[in-house]
């Protein structure tokens, strides 16, 4: 997947598309006006930029994503771990848990995920 560098505003816009896709570009502009207080030209400018980056597409006035939300955020997470924790997932998890903590239910859910991925590998 391409490396998508998005600002916070572009990311919020992409989230709106992911939540509503496929969506007519005019309807998207209306949602952005309500949720982001944008004028129509601002929505179309951000849409054009995200289309140029290859994240979204606008065909015949219908906007869809070329990259899923899950794929985007998974790649973003990988970059954070790589850049901030020298690629060490255990270091990232330790840092995250030391600040926030986790419940017994969360720990069980994480353990189930680890067990499932161990079997797949």
CATH number of the domain where residue 64 is located: 1.10.10.10
Residues 15 and 64 in one domain: yes
Residues 19 and 54 in one domain: yes
Grade residue 112 by pLDDT with cuts at 50, 70 and 90: very high
Average pLDDT (55-68) is 97
Residues 16 and 64 in one domain: yes
Do residues 40 and 27 make contact, with C-beta atoms less than 8 angstroms apart?
no
Q: Does some domain include residue 55?
A: yes
Average pLDDT (62-79) is 94
Do residues 15 and 21 make contact, with C-beta atoms less than 8 angstroms apart?
no
Q: Does some domain include residue 58?
A: yes
Residue 87 backbone zone (phi > 0: left; psi -120 to 50: alpha; other: beta): left
Residues 12 and 65 in one domain: yes
Decide which of 18 and 100 is more confident: 18
Number of domains in the chain: 2
Query: pTM of the full predicted structure?
Result: 0.77
Do residues 29 and 43 make contact, with C-beta atoms less than 8 angstroms apart?
yes
- 106 φ/ψ angles, rounded to the nearest 5 degrees: -65, -40
In the numeric block, which tokens belong to residue 88? Answer: 């060490």
Domain range spanning residue 63? 8-69
Residues 16 and 62 in one domain: yes
Q: Does some domain include residue 83?
A: no
Q: What does the pLDDT read at residue 87? A: 92
In the predicted structure, residue 1 carries a pLDDT above the cut 60:
no
Q: Does some domain include residue 82?
A: no
Q: 6-10, 19-23, 29-33, 47-51: which has the minimum mean pLDDT?
A: 6-10
Residues 29 and 59 in one domain: yes
In the predicted structure, residue 63 carries a pLDDT above the cut 70:
yes
Average pLDDT (63-79) is 94
Average pLDDT (51-58) is 96
């Amino acid at each position: 997947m391409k490396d998508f560098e998005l600002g916070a505003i572009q990311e919020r816009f992409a989230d709106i598309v992911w939540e509503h896709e496929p969506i007519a570009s005019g309807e998207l502009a209306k949602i952005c006006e309500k949720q982001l207080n944008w004028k129509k030209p601002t929505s179309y400018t951000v849409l054009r930029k995200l289309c140029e980056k290859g994240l979204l597409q606008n065909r015949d006035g219908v906007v869809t994503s070329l990259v899923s939300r899950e794929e985007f955020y998974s790649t973003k997470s990988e970059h954070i771990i790589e850049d901030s924790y020298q690629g060490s997932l255990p270091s990232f998890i330790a840092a995250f848990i030391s600040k926030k903590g986790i419940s017994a239910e969360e720990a069980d859910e994480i353990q189930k995920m680890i067990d499932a991925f161990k079997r797949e590998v």
